[in-house]
Amino acid sequence: MPAIIPQPLQVSTPQGTTALSLDGAVFIAGPSATEQRIALQASALMSADAGVTVPLTEAPEPGAPAIQLRIDAAAGPEGSDHPERYTVDTTVRPAVVSGATPAGLYYGVQTLRQLVTTDTFGAPALEAVVVTDAPRYGWRGLTLDIARNFFPMKQLEIVIDVLASYKFNVLHLHLTDDQGWRIENPSRPELAKLSSDTSNSGKAGGYLTLADFRQLQDYAAERFVTVVPEIDMPGHTNAATAIYGDLRPDGKATDKYEGMEVGFSQLTFDLPTTEPFIRDVLTDMAGITDGDYLHVGGDEALTLGAEEYAKFITLLEDVVADTGKQVIMWQEAAAAPTRPGTIVQYWDTRSDKTPFVEAAKRGSRFIMSPGNHAYLDMKYTAEYPLGQDWAGLIEARTAYDWDPATVIEGVPEDQIHGVEAALWTETLSTQDELFDMLLPRLTATAEVAWTAPERKDWEDYRARVAVAAASWRRDGLAFHQSPQIDW
């Protein structure tokens, strides 16, 4: 069986079929601009994976091994109407990759890449299989903190490449926190200009310009990844109060901050400057964001009383609604209470679940990021040099062994919007450190988010991860050599 991550819904290897040689192979594609574009992406990716050029051509030479790419409503498992469904069949000639939508076709290509093997002569070939597949959850994301330490465009693009290869479709960027403001706001340019030279490491400052954010969203969109920006409020706001003294009751700007503590900073509801600040910043973000979502934080506002906190949550819901976007907040907001349309992101498993069950009863949907499984900044082992441990130690198996449907009893499965891994960067400031924490665990989250529970199997996954590492080595991506995996 091929080593596909995440494990597809159905994989079969019919008897008597042989590998498709990639020697002289070509892609052919349907006529639409989207099919042609995805075929060009497939050609570039497959050529790198297989080590031989597999060009896109209009008319293949007779007898040349060909792989046909097309958008086709009939793609995917029998009876599935999931928009991301796809089929890969390398047992027929030409081989076929079909997706019900452009995203489905793109995911078929990602699966095709994982079929690269060598034939009996040692030449590159594709394993002969039929895969029909569709995801369990439509929202499969990574929360990436670029506020504690900033990571530049090139590194963010590599993160997107890796996300896309494991069929993630959301990059949620935590853009603001006590340690820095990492996005240019047209109406408040001083935020990024004056409050981005700080960071947890003391060396990884910086911010995304408007042009960067534009480019990043385009890069992500070509890979079917939606960028969800997070402006964290009303806590985690020291980067703002360090610039605007008038956001403070005493009128004095706070000191800049490069420490590790959380929960000390806040906005103040009753100041006349507060709502205009929130409106300016969120209207800016809505204006520059292609996706339908704005995340507005809501976590760890530990210095606020419940009443003032609740007023903030309602205001944030109102302001985001006024921008036309859909609001997402961290779990604390559920107790405020949140409105039915607010998406709640679950993270701290130590907390009382009652407010989440209540929010679910009101109609909220949930993104599951339980800290003890999905927080990929947790150390692998107690002695691990990187990461934190407050939510537990997370080796590969712990990242793998959980079910989003059972993490909060009382939240019905059909109100689970999806899954996000999270990577907080207090202790991480280089690309190698980032990927050391992401890999292999991100592939575990990929399978949690995509694969039906009855298709998940730790022993089988372990073997597939070892195969996946070949591409990480080739691409120079750091990864943790987990002792749970036979590399």
Please identify every residue annotated as catalytic: 300
Count of beta carbons in the 10 Å neighbourhood of residue 160: 22
- Are 253 and 244 within 8 A, CB to CB? yes
DSSP string over 38-69: HHHHHHHHHHHHHSS---B-SSPPTT--EEEE
97 has which bridge partners? 69, 88
Q: Does 347 bind ligand ACM (CB under 6 A)?
A: yes
Q: Which residues neighbour 238 within 8 Å (Cβ) at sequence distance 6 or greater? A: 177, 178, 179, 254, 256, 257, 264, 265
**Are 162 and 442 in contact, with CB atoms under 8 Å apart?**
yes
Strand order in the sheet with 116-118: 20-21, 124-126, 116-118
Residue 128 or 419 with smaller CB distance to ligand ACM: 419
Q: Are 123 and 23 in contact (CB under 8 A)?
A: yes
C-beta of residue 13 within 8 angstroms of C-beta of residue 129: yes
- Tell me how far apart the alpha carbons of residues 319 and 274 are, in angstroms, rounded to a whole number: 12
Say if strands 86-89 and 130-133 run parallel, antiparallel, or are unpaired.
antiparallel
- Comparison of 114 and 143: residue with beta carbon closer to ligand ACM: 143
User: Rounded distance, CA 353 to CA 349, Å?
Assistant: 8
Interaction with ligand ACM in 134-153: which residues (CB under 6 A)?
Answer: none
The candidate with the shortest Cα–Cα distance to 487, out of 440, 443, 451, is 440
- Which residues within the stretch 305-344 sit at the binding site for ligand ACM (CB under 6 A)? 330
Instruction: Based on the shown chain and the rule CB under 6 A, indicate whether residue 377 belongs to the binding site for ligand ACM.
Output: no
CA angle at 47 for the pair 45 and 52, rounded to the nearest 5°? 165
Between 330 and 461, CB nearer to ligand ACM: 330
Q: How far is the CB of 330 from ligand ACM (least distance, A)?
A: 5
Smaller CB distance to ligand ACM: residue 168 or 375?
375
Of 103 and 428, which has the nearer Cβ to ligand ACM?
Answer: 428
Minimum separation from the CB atom of position 374 to ligand ACM (A):
11
Q: How far apart (Å, rounded) are the C-alpha atoms in residues 155 and 121?
A: 37
Closer to ligand ACM at the Cβ: 284 or 300? 300
Instruction: For residue 434, give both structure tokens.
Output: 């980032």
Site string for ligand ACM, 240-279 (x = CB under 6 A): ----------------------------------------
Report whether the peptide linkage leading into residue 94 is cis, meaning its omega lies within 30 degrees of zero: yes
Nearer to ligand ACM, 106 or 330 (CB): 330
Closest CB 83 distance from ligand ACM, rounded Å: 29
Nearer to ligand ACM, 300 or 436 (CB): 300
- Tell me which of 49, 84, 133, 299 binds ligand ACM, using CB under 6 A: 299
Number of residues that bind ligand ACM (CB under 6 A): 4
- DSSP designation for 70: E
Structure tokens belonging to residue 128: 């002969």
CB of 213 vs ligand ACM, minimal distance in Å: 22
The structure tokens listed for 105 are: 């076709």
The token duo for 362 is 């009101």
Name the residue with the smallest CB distance to ligand ACM. Answer: 299
Cα–Cα distance for residue pair 47/43, rounded to 1 Å: 6
Please identify which residue in 284, 300, 377, 420 interacts with ligand ACM, judged by CB under 6 A.
300
Give least dist CB 392 to ligand ACM, A: 13
Rounded CA-CA distance 341/326 in Å is 8
Q: Which residues bind ligand ACM (CB under 6 A)?
A: 299-300, 330, 347
